[in-house]
Amino acid sequence: MTAPVNLENPKILKDIGKIREEMYDQFVRIISRDEGKKTMIFDEELLIPLSLIVKPEVLRANGVEKIASLKTPPQKNDMKIFIFLVRPKMDLMLQIERYVKFYDMDEDQNRKQFFVYFVPRKTEICENILAQRGVKGGLVIREFKMDIVPLDEDLLSMEFEESFKEIIEGDITSLYDIATAIHKIQRFFGLIPNVTSIGKNAKAVSEILERLRYESIIDESLEPKIQNLVIIDRTADMLTPMATQLTYEGLVDELFGINHSFIDLEPEYLGKKGKEKEKYPLNSNDLVFEEIRDLNMGEVMSFLQNKAKYISESYDSRHQAKTIHEMRDFIRKLPTLQQEHHSLELHFKIAEEIINRTLSKQTFVSRMETEINLLTESTSALEMIQEMIWREEPIVNVLRLLCMESIVNNGLKPKDFDLVRRDILQAYGYKYIFTLDKMEEQHMLNKEDPLIKKNKKKMFRFTFPFLRKELNLANDNFLETGDITSVFSGYAPLSIRLIQRHLERPPQFYNQNPFDFLKDAPFYFLRQIPEKKERFYYNLKDTKTNPERRESINTNINTNSISNANLSTNIRDNEDKNQDFDENLDQELNTEKEEQQKSICLVFFVGGVTFAEISSLRILSQMENSRFEYVVATTRLVNGNTMLNDFIESLND
């Protein structure tokens, strides 16, 4: 049940599986380079990501006979080779010291060998700690470049659990790792021509990436398979992850928790007996899940019911099979039907549990109504926040809505700020004073900005109501229009609208900042490959009704020497034959659209991405006028709970 996604025939990025293959080959070299029985000691955070690359039998086949967690006390064994696989974290160095000293004291006179592999790279500070503790001399220190892992055919993650916290606290170590991960992607898929960054940390990644291009060789003759890279800083949109995701996959993450593409399920969900939870993979291998993951929860049950009807009718079709050919056709479809049947039963159970824990609970419904009204109309959520505090709902739920209130309404009035702060500390304990201080320090929770209050008209373009109107973030008819606003039942993620606004422009304008209304989110554009020729078909829509625009396009087409015989002949002759031009133009548009595949855009979220945002990009790519297929990469998958838990002190005390 813990099989990683099948990457043999991905729909978008054909060779994405090569990233996993390279890490697999490197890991096999690590465990096979020394003969003899081995003990492998893992940093627990690396176990599941590694399971997406290597199966357990590979360890056994290469002499790994025992596996241990770095957290557990060392146990005596007769192995001579010990391999540590760890992240470069200072506290883990003390655990390595404990293990090394324990085995060095062993009465066995045969000297043991200790290998430490840092993931994804070693750091000077960790090596210094090992030296100070007196164990570095007995270690062989190396690196294992498990820096970015394919979780699905359109999703890669670095699985940096504390990336958001580290970045906003000023630890920029991970920015270099992000740049090297992107650099690795370029080794497989070619130099990405257009690189755009939104936000200061994203800009820093772009600058490191630019340096890496010259420090480490990339085959620039390789035809780029990815045409655009957009690196977006999580701090450019702190609102979206605070909102409750309302897609199927998003709600599964909110309620069950999706970790490294797996959820932990009670055995009865899987038709089994027992007490221990089992891990179940959620990826595109699951055919039913692939169809419902991006749907608004309000659409899921009706879809599953229709799917059940289809499967039932497909099973019954065997009774209508009269010829050998028809029978063979049914037998060919049977394995897929059985797989879908099993998956359908599972997702019916999960969907029912989601409904029982959300739509059936008036407290949840009221909170969702408050969230949606806040996002779409900027109505205050303070009354709901007070009610949640009085009911002593989980503090993380209170803080999420409080952050949303602060962002949408330009901070809280000083009186309201002090009142809510006092109520939280009295209801949940004064241990949370440090949490509130941290959130205020990182501008996740603010008092009203006096500058905006004083100059409302002048400063309006820097407020959320302006963003909502400017970027079309709200839509009441989201189910009818099929818009990305369905992922939050009426609100389009700000991050995705920013990406959409940038990419919908012609490439020759990519270097111009379309986000001058964003505070503290610098825009940076890097063209890594000179333009060879521009495609203008998506830019010609208004030429029929705008003669000046037609003349401008004619000039551009002549200048860039577009090689279409009919169109270029008409342009060069400069004949005033509007009807002929329009016919040729329409033919050119149709031909281009038929022949040209959608461009691939890699979107990298620095600090984390939500499943709702990923769903939004999938929805965008499926729209009729879309020019892009999207592949998402991130430091980790997040939701409001996981982000705020980084700030909550002693949440489970």
Amino acid at 55: K
- What distance in Å separates the CA atoms of residue 118 and residue 141, rounded to the nearest whole number? 8
Amino acid at 124: E
Assigned fold of 153-237+493-534+598-653: Rossmann fold (3.40.50)
Amino acid at 105: M
- What distance in Å separates the CA atoms of residue 41 and residue 266, rounded to the nearest whole number? 28
Helical ranges in 123-233 per DSSP H? 124-132, 163-168, 173-189, 200-215
Residues 6+ apart with CB under 8 A from 181: 120, 147, 148, 158, 633
pLDDT of 173? 87
Predicted model pTM: 0.87
For the chain, the farthest-separated pair of C-alpha atoms sits apart, in whole angstroms, at 97
Query: Helix count (H) and strand count (E) of the chain?
Result: 28, 14
pLDDT of 330? 65
Would you give the end-to-end CA distance of the chain in angstroms?
A: 34
Residues 6+ apart with CB under 8 A from 248: 292, 293, 294, 295, 297, 300, 351, 354
Residue in the block written with tokens 């010291």: 97
- In angstroms, the Cα distances linking 2 to 54, 154, 262, 431 are 11, 19, 8, 39
H or E element, residue 232? strand 228-233
Assigned fold of 17-146: Rossmann fold (3.40.50)
Matching fold, domains 248-357 and 366-462: no
Where do the domains of the chain lie?
A: 17-146, 153-237+493-534+598-653, 248-357, 366-462, 537-595
Average pLDDT for runs of 10 along the chain of length 653: 71 87 95 90 93 92 94 90 95 95 73 93 95 94 95 95 87 93 94 95 95 82 92 95 98 96 91 87 94 96 94 75 68 80 95 94 95 95 97 96 96 95 96 92 87 68 88 88 91 96 85 81 84 39 41 39 36 44 50 63 98 98 91 97 81 44
**Would you state the structure tokens that stand for residue 122, as one six-digit string?**
């070693």
Helical axes 382-390 vs 362-377, angle rounded to 10°? 160
pLDDT of 649? 56
- What distance in Å separates the CA atoms of residue 379 and residue 319, rounded to the nearest whole number? 59
Assigned fold of 366-462: 1.25.40
- What distance in Å separates the CA atoms of residue 445 and residue 436, rounded to the nearest whole number? 8
Residues forming a β-bridge with 55: none
Assigned fold of 248-357: Syntaxin Binding Protein 1; Chain A, domain 2 (3.90.830)
495 touches 233 (CB < 8 A): no
**Would you state the structure tokens that stand for residue 375, as one six-digit string?**
């996002």
